[in-house]
A and B are shown apart, each in its own frame.
Chain A
Amino acid sequence: MSGNFWQSSHHQQWLLDKQDLIRERQHDLSILAEDEYQKIFIFFASVIQTLGEQLKLRQQVIATATVYFKRFYARNSLKTIDPLLLAPTCIFLASKVEEFGVISNSRLITTCQNVIKNKFSYAYTQEFPYRTNHILECEFYLLENLDCCLIVYQPYRPLLQLVQDLGHEEQLLTLAWRIVNDSLRTDVCLLYPPYQIAIGCLQIACVILQKDHKSWFAELNVDIEKIQEIARYIINLFELWKTYDEKKEIQGLLAKMPKPKAAPQR
């Protein structure tokens, strides 16, 4: 479905308004500070990334799973479904949609257990608590909340085309690609079309590598203001990373995070 972004559900339904996003998060932001909220999403983006790598998924699949995750919480509070359950559910659904093939239930659960134990023990002291039936139940809720919009456009393809047009520079592509990965830790995938994100990431990569492509960028027929906004989100992320020690802070943040509540006791 790469032919028609403009008619896609991504464009028509899932480019959200920044004000809406703030409104939807009001509940969570009454409990968490804005940077705390972002740090939690940075953490779960890493969980999804690590799970995906362990399952040998392509970056495209991982990115789609991350967008599902962000779309779900763009409409729902963190307390509705435990993000530790939603993260692998997003991986599971994205792998089917992106035709990686179905990940077997047992392999998914085992991978979750290993990843939580070996890579995220600084965040979780107990073992991964969910089983296949939880993932399957969660998957229906996820699909409903996504309104069955499963095809997600990613910045990777436009990025490849842009770099090619620039006269293929390997170093530039590698860096810009990594910045696109980093952009999944921000809200840009909820707010801007992927080709704009690609341009924003490429621009940052040019600045970092001190490559002057100003005239080339000027010739692109894009809304420069939007590109600057995207770049701002990503630079803010980099700023946040400078002073943020996830290993120290995440347990406290997860403890503070709003959580699902059981049925009221009678």
Chain B
Amino acid sequence: MTTAYMMDYEFKMKTQNERIKVEDLFDYEGCKVGRGTYGHVYKGRRKDGSDKKDYALKQIEGTGLSMSACREIALLRELKHPNVINLIRVFLSHNDRKVWLLFDFAEHDLWHIIKFHRAAKANKKPVLVPKGMVKSLLYQILDGIHYLHSNWVLHRDLKPANILVMGEGPERGRVKIADMGFARLFNAPLKPLADLDPVVVTFWYRAPELLLGARHYTKAIDIWAIGCIFAELLTSEPIFHCRQEDIKTSNPYHHDQLDRIFNVMGFPHEKDWEDIKKMPEHPTLLKDFKKNNYVNCSLVKYMDRHKIKPDSKAFHLLQKLLLMDPNKRITSEQAMQDPYFQEEPLPTQDVFAGCPIPYPKREFLTDDDQEEKNDNKRQNQQQQQTQNNQQSQQQNQQNNQGNQQSNQDNHNPAKRVRLSAPQGHPSQVNQQQMPISQQQQEFHQQQMMYNNGQQQQQNFQQRF
């Protein structure tokens, strides 16, 4: 046998010449709008000007085709629904082995929207939004998830940052569910789901059964996350906010997160959740928790404190989404039929219902941001002196919220072990690749800023 050539030269040349490169088709240099564990996202325009639309170009982290990149491409290639992000095309860059995904650009997302509301609330300058906005958002989230679920796709990582909202344009105010990188088919799991990724959902949005060691993801787990997002939209506060030290533990059991859930919901009675006995971590639960500690807790009281009346239709639906027993939790289909959506104001396709959009556009990130962090030591002092304008404050808030669990650790930064890995989304500024020492420096830097007489609002934001 003569030496085999793996690939025909002529074939290679032909495909090379036909292949269209992302940089030939799009202008995006200097237009980075997000970075994180998922990679980098740029806002791009077509070079040939054949349309004036904005596009999101996601350069997947690392090189080649990771399993999550494969899943993302495989699933998005098949999915088509107005409330699910649309993959327009894939670019494979053979030279540097980078994978690029092209999407429509979504100007907003719930993480930024909620953050904006929280800031406004703290400033006592409430944002003017259409009355039905939260309802429209929820309806479209449910619609998208219903589509995914009926196609046997679980999202598994629903959180505000993954819910995008389109800005001005033909799809104005439309929800797009994004970040399916970890989504998986679930009708015939080839491997027990828990074996693949130790921890997937950000703890705040994790259903109690996951925290108690459930081995398989279900539709009900996505529904719980939607309930959490709904509550957060209603109150501007993450309902199951919890301090977290190490998110990527392989142990699903998380005492503090469960404690937080029980503090809001009350401790689950066996009559309400019969199968709780069967949960792998049930013995640990009995050992660690006393139900007497939660006798005065209920969702009614929690939401009432946040001015959501227990007799409102919104509350009734929330209660059905946030049922502790996954078997009793409402389905997306049932939820869409809920009386809440039949009551005025009716949900609208444009969640902003034609009103002006009060939220800022995405800001471009400069590569300096990264260098700044790396050069933190050197620039630390200088920055503190110069950072007195609003922009730098914003930047700092953003940084801080990117690693959400850093909050409440203010008194003891040394305790912070690891930053969260927002699976996210274009909008999130993520510092997670930074060494711990640098994170702490940055943290100190922020602290000093607050001591330097920032408004109280910042502290509030800081805590979130």
Contact = CB atoms under 8 A, between A and B. Distances in A.
Interface of A: 1-4, 7-9, 58, 60-61, 76, 79-82, 84-85, 93, 96-102, 124-126, 129-130, 134, 136-141, 143-144, 148-151, 157, 255, 259-264
B190 A1 contact: no
A4 B84 CA distance: 16
B191 A99 contact: yes
Contact of B73 (A125, A126, A137, A148): A148
B191 A2 contact: no
Interface residues of B, number: 40
A58 B188 CA distance: 12
Contact of A263 (B3, B9, B73): B9
B4 A81 contact: no
B19 A260 contact: no
A101 B71 contact: no
Contact of B153 (A1, A97, A130): A1
B386 interface: no
Given A259-B5, A260-B8, A260-B9, 5 more contacts: A1-B75, A1-B153, A60-B188, A80-B7, A260-B6
A140 B94 contact: yes
Query: 7 nearest interchain CB pairs?
Result: A150-B74, A260-B8, A96-B70, A80-B11, A260-B5, A3-B151, A263-B9
17 contacts: A1-B78, A2-B185, A4-B151, A8-B78, A82-B6, A82-B7, A96-B66, A99-B184, A99-B185, A126-B1, A134-B6, A136-B64, A144-B92, A150-B70, A259-B4, A260-B7, A260-B11
A194 to B, nearest CB: 14
A264 B9 CA distance: 8
A79 B191 contact: no
Contact of A261 (B8, B153, B187): B8
A137 B96 CA distance: 11
Contacts of A264: 9
Contacts of A99: 67, 71, 184-185, 189-191, 196
Contact of B4 (A7, A84, A102): A84
A7 B84 CA distance: 15
Interface of B: 1, 3-11, 15, 19, 64-67, 70-71, 73-75, 77-78, 80, 90, 92, 94, 97, 150-153, 184-185, 187-191, 196
A235 to B, nearest CB: 30
B171 to A, nearest CB: 20
B17 to A, nearest CB: 13
Given A2-B185, A150-B73, A261-B9, A9 B4 contact: no
Contacts of B153: 1
Contacts of B10: 261
Contacts of A101: 67, 191, 196
A136 B65 CA distance: 9
B9 A262 contact: yes
A82 B7 CA distance: 6
Contacts of B187: 2
Contacts of A157: 188
Contacts of A150: 70, 73-74, 77
Given A82-B6, A149-B77, A102 B67 contact: yes
A3 B74 contact: no
A81 B11 CA distance: 8
A124 B191 contact: no
A149 B79 CA distance: 12
A130 B92 CA distance: 22
B250 to A, nearest CB: 15
A7 B77 CA distance: 11
A102 to B, nearest CB: 5
Nearest to A126: B1
A1 B7 contact: no
Contacts of B1: 124-126, 255
Contacts of A93: 65, 70
A129 B4 contact: yes
A60 B184 CA distance: 16
A117 to B, nearest CB: 14
A242 B190 CA distance: 35
A100, A144, A260 interface centre (most CB from chain B within 10 Å): A260
B151 A261 contact: no
A79 B92 contact: no
A139 B6 CA distance: 12
A76 B71 CA distance: 25
Given A1-B151, A1-B153, A96-B70, A81 B190 contact: no
B8 A80 contact: yes
B154 to A, nearest CB: 12
Contacts of B19: 144
A137 B11 CA distance: 14
B191 A9 contact: no
B74 to A, nearest CB: 4
Contacts of A3: 150-152
A151 B73 CA distance: 10
A264 B8 CA distance: 11
B75, B184, B188 interface centre (most CB from chain A within 10 Å): B188
Nearest to B185: A1
